[in-house]
Structure formats: C-alpha cells, structure tokens
Structure 1
Amino acid sequence: MLRSEINACIEHAKELYASIAFKLPEWAHYSPQQWDAEPDLAKWCRGHQMGWDVTDYGEGNFDKRGLILFCLRNGILRQPGEVPYAEKIMIVGENQECPWHYHKVKMEDIIVRGGGNLVIELCNLTEDGQMDRVNDVHVRTDGKLNILPAGGKVVLEPGQSVTLPRTLVHRFYGQEGKGPVIVGEVSQVNDDLTDNYFFDCDARFTKIEEDVAPIHPLWNELPSA
C-alpha cells in the first residue's frame, strides 16, 4: 500500500470512531516525532503490539481484502506478570474481507460497536488442520447458541456480538448496503506474529511504499529503543 493510502485509512477510522464517541488514547494521535520523544512508551507499545495497524494482506487490493485496526491494550504471550487480555477497535468496509483464518491460543468476542452490519462465516477445523466443510458449527451470539451448517454465517447488527472459541475458522466482511462497520474485539492476549493461521493469503502485514510522510506510525514501526 502507499503510505498516503494508509494515512487516509487512519483518518477515516478516527472519524468513524468519533461518530460513536469512542475515544482513543492520547498516543493514538502522536506523530513520529512525538513517539521519538517517548522512547519508553514506544518500546512498551511495540512490544505489546499496541497501536495502529492497516493491512491489505499483501495483496494490494485493500477495498477487497483489508482491515483497519487499533489495539488499545494487550499482554505478551507466555510472559509472567502480563495481562491476559487484549482489546481492539476495527473498521471493516462493505464487502471488505478479512480472509479465512483461526487462532490456536486466542479466544475472542467480536462486537459490532456501530455503523453497518458484520457478516461472519464459520467452519470447524479438522484434525489435520483443514477447513471442515461437513460438520455443523456451534457458536454463541450474545450467549444464544446457534447451530450452523459448515460455512454458515451470522449477521451481527450494532450492539451484537459473537464468541469465537480457539481453532474456530472464520472470515468476516461488512454487509453490502449497510456502510462501514465499527467492530470491537475483546480477547485473550493477541499475537499477530505467531497466532494467525490463514488459508488463502500469505501476508498478515502490508508492504508500504513511502510516497508521503506518515501521520502516525503503525505499531510495528514504533521505535524499539
């Protein structure tokens, strides 16, 4: 992606978060120069994978496959004394896909905080690590048990949520005609470096072409020392 596209995504996300009065932490608005002046905070946020994240999954077609994320809080896997939870706020466009994937460690609640509707498609995982296209899926939305056919979907409206157990395979996208979706995630510790298992994409992070200066660095661009 072009840096100018990433900047535009971040500005778009900030506008949508403000539309539902969702407040980001002060450092969400830091420039690269402000981060340079806060080395301890920068090291903490980078180590905890906290901050801005914009991805096109390495495919160069953000409107089709992409996601804007902001991680507000997070622990570090297998580190004594770390918090055991994480929280994110995301933007999903109409028909913009987060592709099929699962997590081995993380359980998560996906919550629609505002905007349009979120469509989530679900499959079980076979013992040999493939998508189970045969057996029904059991999943709870706001505590209510749903039994879906393999590949079945739930549609979440604002205020609704789904609980995704470990290894439940899922993809999601904004429902057509409903506008962009503001999506929250409350989960166990999130590790995008080791705990994402995708089926048909190769890259979790985006290769960036620097055509303009960044307004805010992504979390993996923060100074580490």
Structure 2
Amino acid sequence: MQFKRSIINSSIDTAKEVIKHFGVSMPDFAAWKPEEWSHIKREAYAEIKDCMLGWDVTDFGSNDFKNIGRVLFTLRNGNKNHANYPKEYAEKLLIDPEGQRAPAHFHRNKREDIICRAGGNILVQLTKADKDGNPSPELFTIQVDGCTVKQTPGGIIRLKPGMSLCIPPGTIHQFWGEEGTGYKIDGIGYTLSVEVSSVCDDLYDNVFLGNYGTRYPEIVEDEPKRYLLCNEYPEV
C-alpha cells in the first residue's frame, strides 16, 4: 500500500492546531522545515535521528487512514542498540481523532501508560495475548489510575481527561478518541493523549494482529514535503 504526502502534511498541520489549542508547547525541531535539517549541526542533533524523535504519521499499510492510522510526536526515547542513548524511558504526544485507531497490537517488551490529557475521552480496548500471540479468553486485571480493575477480553475502558492506565507487555490493545467528544475541527473531535513508556522500538517490538503492520509505509509524493518524519532524517 502507498500513503500520500498530502495526507501527512495536512495531518501534521491539524495536529499543530490541536496542540496549540490545548496550550502545549513543543520543542523547536517540531517546526523545522525539510530544508532546515540540512543546515543543522548534525553531530549535535544525532539523538533526534538515532532515537527516532519527532513527527510520526502512518496508516500502517491500511490505505484507510481515517479509521486505521496514527499521528504522534516522539519527544524522548532511548535506543537499546546504541551505547550513546542509555535512557530507559520514552514519551510520545498523540493526536486522537474520534474513531481513528492503530491496528490491534501488543508489545513484546514495552510497558506503557496511556494518559488522556485534554479534549474528549479515550476508549481503550484490551485483551491478553496467549503464548502464541493470539487473543486469550482469560480474565485479567489492569491498573487504572493506580486502581486494580478486573477486565474481560475485549472490554473497553473509558479514560476521561486526566485519567490513565498501564498496559503491560503482551496485552493486545487499541485506543481512540470517543465519538462525540473532543475539540472540533471541521466536525471531527480531537483529543490529546500522552504515552509514557519504557524504551520504544517500533521496528522490532510491535506485534500486529490482522493484515496490518507496515509501520512506515511507502509514501506517494503527490505534493512537496512540509515536514520530515522520524524515519526520513538525513544521515548524521
């Protein structure tokens, strides 16, 4: 599947509007244009490239970005394969339009907190994975704001602004902005959430269910780039 540059550009423009609306300040490199990257001190900014910080827009190869997609900005991360980056944690800012979600997936190693920061509600659907990586019928518990909550497979937890939950490794999950909530742009509600986690390795730690999982799809350059994605930086 191929993903249009025009969708990436407009999605980041919308994300910036949502972030500004909720009063969140971003690092300077969030606003850098492609031509500016060629003028930076590359050695000084190697961490941005090596830890894949910055804008990340994908449809996971779905060709259905409205429903299966993600727009996020990685603020900090480590790299377990690089001695220069010993951080044990990561933080991402996520834009959650109502109804849009990543494919159902789990992580082999990453533990993450999903925090609903502002706007509407976040709906999180959870199921344990069995030893073969398939959905398990077993009941389980999950931590919501420090409270142990009993959960049935495929059950949904609603996070209102300020609420959070912890998703352990091996837990299949999807989350999205609840329909009818959030800050409206062109009739679509947007919520802002944060992911705080152990080091994020999007190349090797994700296990997607179904016919998805192209984490960084091929892009059709139907218009000029206005931003570089986290997997597009020039060599440092």
Would you say same fold, with TM above 0.5?
A: yes
Q: How far did residue 210 of structure 1 move? A: 0.6
Q: Aligned letter for 1:94?
A: E
**Contiguous gaps of at least 5 residues in structure 2:** 182-188
The one of 183, 187, 190 equivalent to 2:200 is 190
The one of 92, 107, 115 equivalent to 2:111 is 107
Deviations 1:65-114 (A, max 9, x none): 11101000100025445111100001121111211111111111000111
Question: In 2, Cα distance between the equivalents of 1:129 and 1:108?
Answer: 18
**Contiguous gaps of at least 5 residues in structure 1:** none
The question of whether the paired residues in 2 share the 8 Å contact of 1:116 and 1:174 is answered with yes
Q: Would you say 1:87 and 2:91 are equivalent positions?
A: yes
The question of whether the paired residues in 2 share the 8 Å contact of 1:7 and 1:214 is answered with yes
Q: What is the number of equivalent residue pairs in this alignment?
A: 224
Partner-residue secondary structure (3-state), 1:220? coil
The answer for the alignment partner of 1:60 in structure 2 is 63
The answer for the alignment partner of 1:123 in structure 2 is 127
Question: In 2, Cα distance between the equivalents of 1:78 and 1:169?
Answer: 25
Q: How far did residue 62 of structure 1 move? A: 0.7
The answer for the alignment partner of 2:36 in structure 1 is 34
The question of whether the paired residues in 1 share the 8 Å contact of 2:126 and 2:155 is answered with yes
TM-score when normalising by structure 1 = 0.95
The one of 204, 218, 228 equivalent to 1:207 is 218
Q: Would you say 1:168 and 2:178 are equivalent positions?
A: no
The question of whether the paired residues in 2 share the 8 Å contact of 1:54 and 1:206 is answered with no
The answer for the alignment partner of 2:185 in structure 1 is none
Partner-residue secondary structure (3-state), 1:54? strand
The question of whether the paired residues in 2 share the 8 Å contact of 1:49 and 1:191 is answered with no
Partner-residue secondary structure (3-state), 1:23? coil
The answer for the alignment partner of 1:12 in structure 2 is 14
Question: In 2, Cα distance between the equivalents of 1:208 and 1:42?
Answer: 25
Q: Would you say 1:49 and 2:60 are equivalent positions?
A: no
Any runs of at least 4 consecutive aligned residues in structure 1 with deviations exceeding 6 A, and if so which? none
The answer for the alignment partner of 1:224 in structure 2 is 235
Q: How far did residue 40 of structure 1 move? A: 2.5
Q: How far did residue 17 of structure 1 move? A: 0.7
Q: How far did residue 211 of structure 1 move? A: 1.4
The question of whether the paired residues in 2 share the 8 Å contact of 1:35 and 1:42 is answered with no
Change in 2 beyond 3 A, CA 1:114/1:94: same
> Which region of structure 1 is more displaced relative to structure 2, 49-58 or 207-216?
207-216
TM-score when normalising by structure 2 = 0.91
Deviations 1:171-220 (A, max 9, x none): 11221111222110111101111111101113112321111111110010
The question of whether the paired residues in 2 share the 8 Å contact of 1:99 and 1:171 is answered with yes
RMSD: 1.3
Q: Aligned letter for 1:173?
A: W
